[in-house]
Structure 1
Amino acid sequence: MTLRIAFAASNAPIAQSAKAALTRRYGDHAEEGADVIVALGGDGFMLDTLHRTQDLGAPVYGMNRGTVGFLMNEYSDHQLEERLAQAEEAVINPLSMTAETQDGEIHRALAINEVSLLRSGPQAAQVRISVDGKVRMSELVCDGVLVSTPAGSTAYNYSAHGPILPIGSDVLAVTAVAAFRPRRWRGALLPKTADVCFEVLAPGKRPVMAEADSRSVRNVVRVDVRSEPSIGHRVLFDPGHGLEERLIREQFV
């Protein structure tokens, strides 16, 4: 049976050129009803594709036409159907973010990599952290703080000196960005089932923005984060180059 493949590409010329070549060779099915969606671009475009197609049910196979391409496979226009048939699947549960702003508005978003709070003014942010309704840190003074999934642990989390999490570890990483007080705090590992609440102290003087996979909400006063097990993003990787292998390999470079 011939696979029904839908191609999606970023606006980068190299990605558009790849889509044209692949479409000529394999055709291009509509995403609705496709057996698999092939995303051509970088990690940012892959995240956008996963968010956009999460209700369609088809797995997404990325091919790198961007920069880093951690979530992507190597690009080739040869033997694509064979590669798709042999691909390994990883299921990623996103984070759910509920952010309240100073004017009382509620914003909701999903994040496959991380939810982050970042100072948006000249002064450091002051944040209170609660886990499952219990205050765990009464005041964190920092440039920011984030909650990362295992899939996103090599992204912003790792740049902020957070841990790389095995894909099947069922934990979340809470990582500070340039913590000033407590100066030595390097973050925490929490069960995947944990509800994390960030309350912004002195939001008028020390404004904070929240981001869920680069979807921004400004002037937040409270942000609640939890894993969303009801949503599973299906991502395909070439054999021997799956997400678990990539997370392990990243720790030895």
Structure 2
Amino acid sequence: MRGLAVRYGANLALEGVDAAVPHGAIVGLIGPNGSGKSTLLKAIAGAVPAWSGSVRFGGRPVRELAGRVAYVPQREEVNWEFPVTALDVVLMGRYRELGWLRWPGRRDRDRAEAALAQLGLGGLGHRHISQFSGGQQQRIFLARAMVQDPVLVLLDEPFTGVDVQNRQVFHERIQAFGKAGVTVLVATHDLDEVRAMTTHVLCLNRRMVAFGPTATTFTPANLRATFGGQVAVFEQLPVFEELR
């Protein structure tokens, strides 16, 4: 990401993002509400245009790899009454490779069902997406990401409103992506998760405040600069508590 900035109309939503993410890194995107985390993910995914700057992956414009960039949205952005089943949603991850004029075949269905089973939803692909809990709905979109054979995975607040079991499923899958050499960016308010599972941190507050390895970037000074008075930092204890 070089000099990346995004505008919504006359409003500058994000600017000054200049970072080179290592291949296979797990990056935590942190910042207060309205800081630009979701906007950054959407700009990388090509869902919103960059006002200035560029996003490249492996030296190529990221749009050239659109079929292998997996995006898991926030639950609030999904119409859960739309008439599709869990299996339908997962199979959407195969459409870029198949092309829009080809129907998924048996192999594609097998992969989709296997991804659901791997995430603890085996045999439930026939259910309408509204029949699942919030955490299970998030798992369905995670399964969609898995069948894309992604090189880059973008997760927008995957831990919000999910229980411990669903949180663990996401944690394990994110780690598996990283071990397979897949680059992962996770927007989250959960600072404990950032500290526990990421290799790098990108701090945002309408502009990039800091970026680097978690061990050297996830510091009280950078948290204060990012959150201001919205976060209480206990320097003598390994606790970072966000104030809501």
Higher Cα Rg, which structure: 1
Q: TM-score, normalised by structure 2?
A: 0.32
Structure number with the higher helix fraction is 2
Structure number with the higher strand fraction is 1
Q: Which has the higher contact order (CA 8 A, sep 6+)?
A: 2
Q: TM-score, normalised by structure 1?
A: 0.31
